[in-house]
Structure 1
Amino acid sequence: MRALELDPSDPELHRILGIVLIKRHRDYASSRRHHEKALELAPNDAYIVGRCAAFFTFAGEPERAFGLLDRAEGLDPYLPVWVVEERIAALYALGRFEDVNRAALDLPFQTRRTRFYRAAARIARGDIERARILIGEALTDDPSLSIEYVRSQELYEDHDRMECLVDRLRQAGLPDTPQNGAGPVASH
């Protein structure tokens, strides 16, 4: 809040504050205002536009997230994977499970997040074996991953949507808590 007092025109500050308001307080209304302000202040900043897409997926507006991602990719076709992977989350939120895997495979590499969404989409389609392989790959890369981690990162406003994701990941073999005493790994 002090940084906002010093520079209320910093779009990245608004975007970050918007995510913090969800993580700490589940305050989606205030988060929306900060994400909208970030977009207003930086309509042609591909990174800001692309990262704001996550808020709209979490807030139940994955179609708007797609529009933002299209705009961001039009501004900069070389966005980092952690921006482009928002498309996978939006596809999942829309129930387009077949498209989740196709879109993820277009990425230059798989992240823990893309593996989670691919696994959940596979469970939704009844492919438990492949879902378990994806979770196994994610756990091989980072044995501390767990449902606890997913709950800290995937910030859906809709409780039922969140619980469905968690249930599918649990079916795919993701443990509830970190194994071997490892804590959740921070996200970027």
Structure 2
Amino acid sequence: MTISILGNGQFDRILVRPRNIIFQVLATKIELSRIGRFIQAAIIFAYAIPRCQIIWSADKIFTLVLMIISGVAVFSGLFIIYASLCFFTTEGLEFLNIFTDGGREFGKYPFSIYGEGVLKLFTYIIPLALFQYYPFLYLIGKTQDIHYMFAPFLAFLFLIPCLLLWKIGLRHYKSTGS
């Protein structure tokens, strides 16, 4: 949610609509560049899966689907944090792009190359490694530890503080009066 939604009274209209508030806020700005990124990712995904030399089994397919779903959940949580912080600030919060766009860039390489501190940050604080790094190690056979397969489930716990911050921000919201 950008500051402009709050400042120009659009958020007041969102509050009176009979739909989920978070969904409406997340859907207020749909960028075609993101749809293009999704199409590009889907094409690369469809190309890479048959060529990746992974011996696919039910547990690996389950892990891959879980990685995708929990990735959507974590990035949605990051956008909810961004929207929640807008209740308390009057300036844009571009530093959060470090975790959204930066997280996408970090994911291009194994998190282990960045060092233990960054790996811990992206495991325990912003759980990008829980749906990218650990389950991928399981997929490619670097580990047989079944816990790595279920790591994406832990990423869903990230939504709890995100939603709590949203509720706190919503409680402190004061209408623009326009």
Name the TM-score, length of structure 2 as normaliser.
0.28
The higher-RCO structure (CA 8 Å, 6+ apart) is 2
- Whichever of the two has the greater Rg, that structure is 2
